[in-house]
Amino acid sequence: MTATPSRRQVLCGLMVGLLAPGALVACTNGSVRDNGVGNGQSGAVLAKVTDIPVGGGNLVNSGSTGQLLLVQPTAGEFRAYNPTCPHLGNTVDPPENGVITCPAHGSQFNPANGAVERGPAQRPLASVAVKVVGGDVVLA
């Protein structure tokens, strides 16, 4: 037999539910970013070419609200992806040993084209157009 919660328990649960999101926001530095381009505009600098290792990559800011995975699969070739794994929405890690991996369930993606190399993801990473201007990688 399950007990019916008291009025106090219900109200306490409601207060936690209402206050917890505010408390989490108050604990951040205000720079919470969503995966994707965010408010980044064409021509916005994402990183210096020298900041992205050949065969690797980094999560970079896109505008003040976005985050992208910027990779350099081979020397001079730059690609950017929305770092959201298409399986369940976790953020993928930058490439290691020639593969982008989702830490949640192990999906793996090809850094050169975002294609799925191992599931459970069924779709590739969403590509974002970038180009090199001078010594910078910018949104195209």
pLDDT in tens, 22-53: 433 333 334 456 889 999 999 999 999 999 99
Q: Where are the alpha helices (DSSP H) in 2-95?
A: 7-26
Q: What is the phi/psi pair of residue 94, to 5°?
A: -60, 155
CA 18, distance to chain mean position in Å, is 27
* Residue 111: exposure state from Cβ atoms within 10 A (0-12, 13-18, ≥19): buried
Q: Give the CATH class of 34-139.
A: mainly beta
Any idea where the domains of the chain sit in the sequence?
34-139
What's this model's pTM, rounded to 2 decimal places?
Answer: 0.77
Q: How far apart are CA 54 and CA 98, in angstroms?
A: 10
CA angle 93, 98, 100 (to 5 degrees): 25
User: How many other C-beta atoms lie within 10 A of the C-beta of residue 62?
Assistant: 25
pLDDT in tens, 53-85: 999 999 999 999 999 999 999 999 999 999 999
